[in-house]
Homo-oligomer: A and B are copies of this chain.
Amino acid sequence: MTTKRQLLLTPGPTNVPDAVLEAMKIPMIHHRTKDYQAIFERVNQSLKKVFLTQHPVVTFAASGTGAMEASMTNLLSAGDKVIVAHAGKFGERWRDLAKAYGVEAVCLEKPYGKALDPAEIARALKQHPDAKAVYVTLLETSTAVVHPIREIAAITRESQAILVVDAISGLACDPLKMDEWGVDVVVCGSQKGLMMPPGLAFIAAGPRAQQLIGESKLPKFYFHLGAALKALAKNDTPYTPAVSLVRALEVALDLILKEGPEAVWARHQKIAEWVREKARGAGLQIFSESPSNGLTAILMPEKVVSDQVIRTMRDKHGVIMANGQGDLKGRIVRFAHMGDTARPESAETGWCALTDALEVCSQATPAGGK
């Protein structure tokens, strides 16, 4: 079993603070007890404060994709039309989900590295007045792009369609004000900005979304939002919750709320700017047109393959960063400053490791690459 601590600079899972890890090893309690329900009540209140919403935030034992699925199967019926705006691997998951459930998706596709265009979404909503929802991503993890959710919400709030945002990677890194901006549904996972182990998925649903939940006919069971919302009103869950993770979540959310969501975003922004400045100063190119606070995608210089760079950082420095996905594999290094690692010391260690690995790999023969 690995016990040596590495510096985890991947865009999820991110490093879990010791206080959060400690909370997981408290002896098990039963979930249908006042002890557990008191914890869950505090967690539910804190989740609202972190999501910046007055509306309920449902917690599922699942990874984030489970909550994405819930945000489709609970809002729509077969044959419904939606607009999916995507520019990366995770945005494409909305398209794939729609296909799996027989939902008609009007896809607005942008190249990897680009940001979504609110004007294009506005045009699509006029062309498709029967679209029930717009599905987008806050931080597209595959490209490190943050999409203009505020501007998109300004359009959807005036339209017939609700706005569903995958904020799995972005929440508590990049600004997102659910109620103030008029976002109807926010989906999240535990292992990114929330500084938790993976295993919990979240979905916050505003009033327009809750109305659609009542009309939706797509099949669902484990991810049944109606049942979950009913149970949530009593700080309960339809099925056994992941007790240890929920207890740890209380601690993680307290850390975020003690600092304050806006201060957390500002801390991420400062680190992200520092990393980009360093990279540009070293003659490297930033891949993303609209870079996120939580993650920087750095293009490799010609003849350098990112696989090698990542392996060198891991073996020589104990620093773990992520490769590109799909066509971007080998071409970019994804340097995360997300959650607990959005701190100067982590970013500096990461940058030193990257600088050294780039030097090592620029000298090596490219044949040793992939």
Contact = CB atoms under 8 A, between A and B. Distances in A.
Interface of A: 1-3, 5-6, 8, 10, 12-16, 21-33, 35, 39, 60-66, 69, 96-97, 100-102, 189, 191, 197-199, 218-223, 238-245, 247, 250, 320, 322
Contact of A221 (B31, B32, B100, B241): B100
A244 B63 CA distance: 13
Given A65-B222, A199-B244, A221-B97, A16 B28 contact: yes
Q: Which 10 A-B pairs have the closest CB atoms?
A: A199-B242, A197-B244, A21-B25, A66-B222, A63-B239, A63-B240, A65-B239, A198-B240, A24-B24, A16-B28
Contact of A198 (B2, B31, B102, B320): B31
A243 B30 contact: no
A26 B8 CA distance: 13
A27 B15 contact: yes
A8 B27 CA distance: 9
Contact of A100 (B64, B198, B199, B219): B219
B14 A242 contact: no
Contacts of A33: 320
Given A21-B26, A63-B241, 18 more contacts: A1-B39, A2-B29, A14-B28, A16-B244, A21-B27, A24-B24, A24-B25, A24-B244, A63-B242, A64-B240, A69-B222, A97-B221, A101-B221, A197-B245, A198-B240, A198-B242, A199-B242, A199-B244
A39 B3 CA distance: 12
Given A222-B69, A242-B197, A13 B31 contact: yes
Given A65-B222, A223-B222, A3 B26 contact: yes
Nearest to A9: B30
A274 B188 CA distance: 48
Contact of A243 (B64, B96, B197): B197
A101 B217 CA distance: 11
Given A189-B240, A197-B243, A199-B61, A250 B1 contact: yes
Contacts of A223: 222
A222 B65 CA distance: 6
A33 B96 CA distance: 26
A137 B126 CA distance: 52
Contacts of A102: 219
A337 to B, nearest CB: 15
Contacts of A220: 100
